[in-house]
């Protein structure tokens, strides 16, 4: 199979990327119909960090980070490096030196369906990474793969230039040809949630404004004043 590196990719308009940054992962995930959420195994190395930008994809052979080094060259400021492997891997494929090089290129952060190491140093550098593991096991640099090819990361297909968002709730992808539509849906969802917050502040119950009492009734959920009344009620059945 042909291995390759694509130097130039189409990225979403920087304006829309900037607009997306006011949303969070959960809002975007819900706004696009509960799609695009990567596997829960991808955890933030720096809690509280958040990133939003276009994906530069890297497909490595398990235990080898040659293609990560190749990808650094094609990254542009604001990019997010999305890394996966052929075969399962928890090896420390990224450490302090690669992170330092990515910072120099202006890369926002990394999503990696494998391991990283030098976690303390990376936290000191303040570089956001979502990874499957933190593990010192080293890698080789001898096996070819792909840069800017379609990649499966966290159970989701990522294409170069797709929009990636990540925060404490996880990682979500928006397909680059759906960015505008999802933005408008997310904006409407935020407005709706602001209205819901006002209802809560006014003392309204979610059981009522979500019409959940009907669902409880359909599910045959019974109300009792206390445990004794419940037990007596069941005895009568």
Give 185-219 pLDDT, tens digit per residue. Answer: 999 999 999 999 999 999 999 999 999 999 999 99
Query: Is 41 part of any known ligand binding site?
Result: no
Residues 3-10, mean pLDDT to the nearest whole number: 97
Per-residue model confidence as pLDDT tens digits over 110-147: 999 999 999 999 999 999 999 999 999 999 999 999 99
Query: Is 102 part of any known ligand binding site?
Result: no
Query: Is 97 part of any known ligand binding site?
Result: yes
**Three-class DSSP category at 209:** helix
Residues 160-175, mean pLDDT to the nearest whole number: 98
Is residue 153 pLDDT above 90, yes or no?
yes
Q: Contact, 80 vs 95, CB < 8 A? A: no
Query: Is 96 part of any known ligand binding site?
Result: yes
Query: Is 66 part of any known ligand binding site?
Result: no
- Encode 139-164: b = buried (16+ Cβ within 10 Å), e = exposed: beeebbbbbbbebebbebebbbbbbb
Query: Is 83 part of any known ligand binding site?
Result: no
Per-residue model confidence as pLDDT tens digits over 18-47: 999 999 999 999 999 999 999 999 999 999
Residues 72-83, mean pLDDT to the nearest whole number: 98
Cβ-based neighbour number of residue 101 at 10 Å: 15
């Amino acid at each position: 199979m042909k291995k390759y590196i694509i130097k130039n990719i189409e990225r979403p308009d920087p304006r829309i990327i900037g607009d997306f940054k006011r949303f969070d992962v959960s809002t975007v995930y819900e706004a696009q119909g509960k799609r695009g959420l990567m596997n829960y195994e991808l955890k933030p190395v720096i809690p509280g960090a958040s990133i939003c930008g276009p994906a530069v994809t890297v497909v490595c052979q398990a235990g080898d980070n040659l293609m990560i080094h190749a990808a650094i060259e094609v990254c542009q400021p604001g990019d997010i490096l999305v890394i996966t492997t052929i075969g399962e891997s928890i090896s420390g494929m990224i450490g302090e030196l690669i992170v330092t090089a990515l910072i120099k290129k202006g890369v926002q952060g990394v999503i990696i369906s494998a391991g990283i190491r030098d976690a303390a140093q990376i936290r000191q550098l303040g570089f956001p990474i979502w990874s499957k593991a933190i593990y010192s096991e080293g890698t080789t640099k001898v096996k070819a793969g792909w840069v800017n090819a379609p990649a499966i990361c966290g159970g989701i297909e990522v294409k170069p230039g797709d929009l990636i968002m990540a925060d404490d709730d996880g990682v979500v992808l928006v397909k680059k040809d759906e960015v505008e539509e999802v933005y408008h849906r997310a904006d409407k969802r935020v407005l709706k949630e602001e209205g819901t917050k006002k209802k809560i502040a006014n003392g309204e119950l979610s059981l009522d404004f979500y019409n959940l009492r009907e669902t409880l009734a359909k599910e045959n959920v019974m109300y009792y004043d206390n445990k004794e009344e419940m037990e007596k009620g069941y005895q009568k059945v």
